[in-house]
Amino acid sequence: MRNDLYINRKYTIGAMAVVVIVAFLAQLFLLQVVDYDKYLTIAGNNALIKNMIIPDRGLLYDRNGEVLVYNRAAYDVMVTVNDVKPFDTLDFCRSVNITPEFLRQKFAEVKDKKKNKGYSEYTPQVLIMQLSKEENGSLQEKLWKFPGFKLRPNSVREYSYSYAGHLLGSTGEVSQNKLEKDNPDNYYMRGDYAGQSGIELAYEKILRGKKGFTIEMRDNKMRIVTEKNDKDTPVKYEDGQHDKLPVSGENLTLTVDILLQAYGEKLLQGKRGAIVAIEPSTGEILAMVSNPTFDPSTLIGRQRSKNYKKLEIDPLKPLLNRATKGRYSPGSTFKPLQALVCLQEGGITENSLFPCNGVGSSPIKCTHSHGSPVELLRGIEQSCNPYFWGAFRSTLEKDGYGKDNADFKNSYNQWREDVMSFGYGEKFDSDIDADEQDRGNVPSESFFNRMFGEKGWRALTIRSLSIGQGEVSCTPLQMANLAATIANRGHFYTPHVARMGDYAKEKHTTNVEEKYFSPVVEGMRRVCLTGTARWYNIKDVIMCGKTGTVQNNHGKDHSMFIGFAPMDNPKIAIAVVIENAGFGASWAYPIGSLMMEKYLNRNISVNRLWLEEKMLKTYFVSPTVTTN
């Protein structure tokens, strides 16, 4: 019995030993084969050094194939702290154009394990980023003087044009917050650059590419193992079979016409405001101008931080993209949308008449006299405030008020839903494109309940909405999209700035039936032919538009315009906002018409050069800021 017991124990112990060995081998297999990168990370602190290779970012092109953004060679100074020997600090600093104080600061940052969680004195760390070609050359020839330092190839963005700063965006060093909280797969490391705004941010994962690496060996004293006949060449681990080449980022073609963009920025020099132009049939953004603006080339390299701070404190707010984040009352540019919704909901017909007594009208006065009564086409053509107040009131009160205003509120909620179906009051449903948007505002029932009480508001209370004033607000991007939607007679495609994905297939149909668009389009044609915008038409092009002079509680009125051309088979829809400039017909409309002519004909006709010169030379504020 006792012998059997020992025999059984022998088998048990042997089985346990086999299990332990198998488990060990399995773990070794997982580390070295299945999860080799993780193994290298662990081993990197011991005998293997993983040197990252930064890929080139993808290039950016405009819709016509013009290169907008490319890469210029730059270099990072890497330091392995354990290998550093006493060196001439002043000589080193002079070579790379930095101060000794800056160098000490960078060494402190490298060694700070709270900020640099991947720190090891035995592995290369990023010390100074993006040396210029000249600085690299200066340091390279004397690098032998500075043991522990080496140069790593990198790149910096370069811009073919000084335009489209807001749209293109910029790249910058990844923040500590991103490293800790927004770093899937631990892709980013201290010293990496990533998109910070605009297209660079929206398409970061596509543009950044994939990092590569080489693996070097160290001996038992943590010295880099080099070739016997070449002490400057490290020995590659297992002949480099585990090295990975970097994969460059994908190139991206944008929808923007850079020549149209540049023209828009010139027209807005000395003015605060925005221009957005869209191709109605696709939703492609042809130009997105915001002014004051900045030269994107000032936000690259080691000067980025200094220049960014200058832009950040500038009172003209050049970093604000007014095209997508500027919130404005739409004023009279809202009237075509108001007409469409009132037609759809049966508040009016094309032949409905409302009285107008000019400046003597009440409760909303008209800005000028044009005869009375007024029907739809003349109401749009002459931008008659009393007409649109009458149409709005008739729509909201068509079913009466009902008990506790219930029927009136139902009509208001339907009106609001119809307005929002045109893209007002919410961000466009894009996950990665123009994501830096303000949603604007189409006030809700609950908003007015809080303001006036459940039973305290009626059509008269909110009459300012009838003419695009009061609580309703929008962005220039939303205004341009409204113009595109009317141009398409009732649908739009998600506005976008890159030819990628299925944006052109994202067709959004409004709540308004197609049959109601014909009279509104005709009214907008009359605006440009005989109405408030009759002075600046493009020869041989049938234009449709609507001007707006928008009351501003903080200064002079804003000048606005929306429109599209040609009337049939439109190629361009546009919105123009010029802050504190006065009449829409005097400034926003001529600039809008020049932009449309530039895009349709590629030049400005001789008989309109005087208008171009006037718009170019008229300043309402100081010229565009610079960071020089």
d(CA 474, CA 440) in angstroms, rounded, equals 4
- Burial of residue 359 (number of CB atoms within 10 Å: 0-12, 13-18, 19+): exposed
Quick one: average pLDDT of 185-206?
89
Tokens at 517, concatenated: 């668009």
Instruction: Give the pLDDT band (50/70/90) at residue 628.
Output: very low
348, 570 Cβ separation under 8 angstroms: no
Helical spans, DSSP H, in 375-488: 376-381, 385-396, 406-420, 445-452, 476-487
Residue 41 confidence (pLDDT) above 50 = no
pLDDT at residue 184 in the model: 79
Least confident of 223-237, 322-336, 360-374, 526-540: 223-237
Quick one: average pLDDT of 553-571?
93
Quick one: average pLDDT of 546-574?
92
34-43, 225-234, 429-438, 488-497 — most confident range: 488-497
Instruction: Give the pLDDT band (50/70/90) at residue 44.
Output: very low
Task: For the chain, give the longest Cα–Cα distance.
Answer: 122
Quick one: average pLDDT of 4-32?
61
Least confident of 11-20, 257-266, 314-323, 335-344: 11-20
Q: Report percent pLDDT > 90 for the chain.
A: 63
Dump pLDDT digits (tens) for 111-151: 988 888 778 888 889 999 888 888 888 899 899 999 999 99
* 373 prior amide bond cis, ω within 30: yes
Type of residue at 135: E
Q: Which runs of E-coded beta strand occur in 112-243? A: 125-131, 149-159, 171-173, 193-195, 212-217, 226-227, 230-234
pLDDT at residue 85 in the model: 92
**H/E/C letters for each residue in 127-152?**
EEEEECHHHHHHHHCCHHHCCCEEEE
Quick one: average pLDDT of 64-78?
93
Q: Please name the residues in contact with 367: beta carbons below 8 A apart, sequence gap of 6 or more.
A: 359, 383, 385, 549
Residue 84 confidence (pLDDT) above 70 = yes
Closest CA to 515 of 344, 398, 351, 392: 344
Residue 504 confidence (pLDDT) above 70 = no
Residue 180 confidence (pLDDT) above 90 = no
Dump pLDDT digits (tens) for 21-35: 766 666 655 545 545
Q: Would you give the end-to-end CA distance of the chain in angstroms?
A: 96
d(CA 226, CA 216) in angstroms, rounded, equals 9
Residue 221 confidence (pLDDT) above 70 = no
Type of residue at 488: N
Type of residue at 567: M
pLDDT at residue 229 in the model: 67
d(CA 50, CA 218) in angstroms, rounded, equals 11
The H or E element containing residue 3 is helix 2-29
Q: Give me the DSSP letters along 578-593.
A: ETT---TTTTHHHHHH
Type of residue at 459: A
Residue 112: how many CB atoms within 10 A of its CB?
Answer: 12
Instruction: Give the pLDDT band (50/70/90) at residue 43.
Output: very low
pLDDT at residue 553 in the model: 76
Residue 466: how many CB atoms within 10 A of its CB?
Answer: 26
d(CA 596, CA 100) in angstroms, rounded, equals 55
pLDDT at residue 57 in the model: 95
Mean pLDDT of the chain: 88
Closest CA to 545 of 510, 505, 578, 588: 588
Q: Give me the DSSP letters along 483-528.
A: HHHHHTTSEEE--BSBS-TTGGG-EEE-SS-GGGHHHHHHHHHHHH
Half-sphere exposure of 316 (CA within 13 A, CB side): 21
Tokens at 203, concatenated: 């398409």
Type of residue at 470: G
pLDDT at residue 543 in the model: 96
Tokens at 382, concatenated: 């002459």
Residue 42 confidence (pLDDT) above 60 = no
d(CA 445, CA 453) in angstroms, rounded, equals 10
521, 280 Cβ separation under 8 angstroms: no
pLDDT at residue 9 in the model: 60
d(CA 422, CA 438) in angstroms, rounded, equals 15
Least confident of 301-310, 350-359, 375-384, 573-582: 301-310
d(CA 330, CA 551) in angstroms, rounded, equals 10
d(CA 489, CA 569) in angstroms, rounded, equals 11
Dump pLDDT digits (tens) for 357-404: 988 889 999 988 888 999 999 999 999 999 999 999 999 999 999 998
pTM across the whole model: 0.87
